């Protein structure tokens, strides 16, 4: 990720949907009416580029322009992927290890983009009307395409790649990003006529299945499984599952990971490899139960491993740990100990660590690029760039996040609810920023919503006599968006609340807001001028129900959540 003068942060401020006028708000002719390319392009971020892209032999309607631009994006992505592969097949002696890793990131991201764009064109290719969740699905995928392209570029910029490599890749990346931006803008104008409202039900109440409530830090999921799987779980886990009448989480199969050989596998990666590919959530989750222990391995839940439920024995009981960092030659993107890409992942009762330490700068504990993913009662522990909420839609409930510089960052549409965010003691001369959001396009439906959380000092920071300044966040990208709502903010936060990235960069285009927070650090009287108070109506935009449409997909996870403002 991008770096500052001395912190080298790669964090992105997790921020929200900004209420600036979108393309859908721009007065125009009906979407089915043919219009000139100039009129279609004027509301995009790159109007001149858009005009050069769209066909001008005869006017089309917004839907046809949108489909045309998505197909152009597919073509651009395919060509860039081929170019990246060409470099990766050159003799290894010509490229350094960190350049190869950055190119491998780009290849992975381009592969994901081909999936997202193909899904989009297949969905919109023959319709002008989509139900709200499906419309949000496509908006989310097109937003992620832009994020993936930016991540590829940032990874290359972190390396010492030869000029010939950078020069040959930067222009296709830049043009591809513009095509993707035009595609998202035209899609929003055609298919997303207004910001959809989600299912405003009350949310799920907390459930427990622990036999000894004192051993439960938080509620745990009510699981519905076959008698055989239930017997396996209760035998290995030494806890009785309570029967419930409704809202149980359907489990299709279970495997046990135990370092002592008492389960099906001794490593988490073996269990992940055993999971079936491309499942659907209605058939149930593949449960990987990881018994207590410290697992020193780098785990990836790839795109084919959908609907995995990974459950441990509790925070600080089941621990997954690694120590990769940018200083040691990894990109920020691939420094993560635990990586999630497969849709529908649910993680429960696990601690994820990156122990590289503050001197190694960017060192990610978890990178999450999985749509409709959830973490419940988990802990994320590192220093700079702890939790990389990279892309798509995510939810975190009753989790602990520890870090220093930009320690919650990325460009997902993400809600953290009822979590504890702990600022740690950084290196001398550094300050803490809890968030750094990476929204680069005003049409992306991304941002970070922090709701009913506790903003606290970790013990080592609390003992430091206030020598470290700590802020709620800073704008890493031009359209960063972050909102704190109804949270407890302790005295560690500076009165100004937020800090700029560099000069006046993004201060006029970012969206930073606070609503009904409490605690000694919540007073907004001396906040920076580029943040804003919001009312309850604005705050509802960033709730689980509206921001990530959680009422449509969270019930199947069994995780408790508040749909609206608590």
- State the pLDDT confidence band at 450, using cuts at 50, 70 and 90: very high
What the chain holds in terms of domains, given with CATH numbers, is 37-191 (1.20.140.40), 250-557 (2.160.20.10)
Burial of 429 (0-12, 13-18, 19+ CB in 10 A): exposed
- Find the mean pLDDT for residues 195-216: 42
pLDDT of residue 231: 67
Answer for the pair 221, 207: CB distance below 8 angstroms, yes or no: yes
pLDDT of residue 238: 52
Answer for the pair 400, 380: CB distance below 8 angstroms, yes or no: yes
Phi and psi torsions of 110, nearest 5°: -65, -35
SS3 for 502-547, per residue?
CCCCCCCCCEEEEECCECCCCCCCCCCCCCEECCHHHHHCCCHHHH
- Find the mean pLDDT for residues 359-376: 97
Answer for the pair 366, 334: CB distance below 8 angstroms, yes or no: no
Query: What three-state secondary structure class fits 112?
Result: helix
385 is catalytic: no
- Find the mean pLDDT for residues 172-198: 85
Would you mind telling me the total number of residues written for the chain in this entry? 566
Pick the closest to residue 272 from 244, 243, 301 (CA basis).
Answer: 301
- For residue 90, pLDDT over 80 is answered with no
pLDDT of residue 226: 66
pLDDT of residue 193: 60
Burial of 97 (0-12, 13-18, 19+ CB in 10 A): exposed
Q: Supply 327's token pair.
A: 């200083």
Residues 6+ apart with CB under 8 A from 47: 38, 41
pLDDT of residue 56: 87
Catalytic residue among 406, 490, 552, 562: 406
* Angle between the N-to-C axes of helices 62-88 and 97-124, in degrees from 0 to 180, rounded to the nearest 10: 150
pLDDT of residue 164: 81
Q: What is this structure's pTM?
A: 0.90
- For residue 29, pLDDT over 60 is answered with no
Answer for the pair 354, 337: CB distance below 8 angstroms, yes or no: yes
Q: How far apart are CA 185 and CA 302, in angstroms?
A: 29
- The predicted-structure confidence for 315-332, as pLDDT tens digits, reads as follows 999 999 999 999 999 999
- Find the mean pLDDT for residues 287-297: 97
Residue where the block lists tokens 């659907």: 280
Please list the helix, strand and coil fractions of the chain in percent, rounded to the nearest 5, in that order. Answer: 30, 20, 45
Burial of 96 (0-12, 13-18, 19+ CB in 10 A): middle
Q: How far apart are CA 151 and CA 172, in angstroms?
A: 14
- The predicted-structure confidence for 113-132, as pLDDT tens digits, reads as follows 999 999 999 999 989 889 88
Q: How far apart are CA 525 and CA 421, in angstroms?
A: 23
Q: Supply 174's token pair.
A: 């830049």
């Amino acid at each position: 990720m991008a770096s500052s003068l001395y912190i080298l942060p790669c964090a992105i401020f997790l921020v929200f949907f900004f209420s600036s006028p979108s393309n859908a708000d721009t007065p125009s002719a009906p979407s089915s009416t043919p219009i000139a390319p100039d009129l279609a392009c004027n509301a995009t971020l790159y109007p001149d580029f858009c005009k050069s892209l769209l066909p001008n032999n005869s006017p089309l309607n917004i839907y046809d322009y949108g489909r045309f631009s998505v197909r152009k994006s597919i073509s651009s992505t395919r060509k860039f992927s081929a170019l990246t592969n060409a470099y990766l097949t050159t003799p290894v002696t010509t490229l350094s290890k960190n350049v190869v890793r950055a190119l491998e990131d780009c290849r992975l991201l381009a592969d994901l983009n081909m999936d997202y764009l193909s899904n989009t064109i297949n969905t919109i290719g023959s319709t002008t009307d989509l139900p709200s969740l499906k419309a949000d699905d496509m908006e989310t995928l097109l937003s992620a395409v832009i994020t993936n392209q930016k991540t590829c570029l940032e990874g290359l910029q972190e390396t010492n790649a030869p000029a010939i490599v950078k020069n040959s890749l930067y222009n296709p990346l830049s043009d591809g990003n513009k095509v993707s931006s035009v595609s998202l803008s035209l899609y929003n104008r055609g298919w997303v006529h207004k910001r959809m409202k989600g299912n405003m039900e009350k949310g799920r109440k907390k459930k427990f299945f622990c036999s000894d409530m004192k051993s439960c830090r938080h509620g745990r999921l009510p699981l519905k499984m076959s008698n055989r799987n239930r017997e396996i779980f209760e035998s290995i886990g030494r806890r009785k599952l309570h029967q419930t009448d409704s809202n149980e989480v359907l489990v299709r199969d279970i495997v046990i990971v135990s370092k002592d050989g008492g389960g099906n596998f001794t490593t988490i990666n073996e269990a992940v490899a055993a999971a079936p590919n491309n499942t659907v959530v209605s058939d149930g989750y593949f449960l990987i139960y990881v018994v207590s222990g410290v697992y020193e391995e780098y785990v990836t839940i790839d795109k084919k491993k959908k609907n995995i439920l990974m459950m441990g024995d509790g925070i600080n009981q089941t621990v997954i740990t690694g120590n990769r960092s940018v200083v040691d030659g990894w990109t920020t993107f691939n420094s993560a100990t635990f990586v999630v890409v497969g849709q529908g992942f649910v993680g429960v009762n696990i601690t994820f660590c990156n122990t590289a330490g503050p001197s190694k700068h960017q060192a990610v504990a978890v990178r999450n690029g999985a749509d409709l993913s959830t973490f419940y009662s988990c802990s994320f522990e590192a220093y700079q760039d702890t939790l990389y909420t990279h892309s798509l839609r995510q939810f975190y409930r009753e989790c602990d996040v520890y870090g220093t510089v930009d320690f919650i960052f990325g460009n997902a549409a993400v809600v953290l609810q009822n979590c504890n965010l702990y600022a740690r003691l950084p290196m001398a001369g550094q300050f803490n920023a809890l968030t750094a959001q990476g929204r680069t396009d005003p049409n992306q439906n991304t941002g970070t919503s922090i709701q009913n959380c506790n903003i606290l000092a970790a013990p080592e920071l609390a003992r430091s006599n206030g020598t470290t300044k700590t802020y709620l966040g800073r704008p890493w990208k031009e359209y960063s968006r972050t909102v704190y709502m109804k949270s407890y903010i302790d005295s560690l936060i500076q009165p100004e609340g937020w800090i700029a990235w560099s000069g006046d960069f993004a201060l006029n285009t970012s969206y930073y807001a606070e609503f009904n927070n409490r605690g000694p650090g919540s007073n907004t009287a001396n906040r920076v001028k580029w943040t804003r108070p919001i009312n309850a109506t604005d705050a509802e935009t960033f709730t689980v129900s509206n921001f990530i449409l959680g009422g449509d997909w969270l019930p199947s996870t069994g995780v408790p959540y508040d749909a609206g403002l608590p």
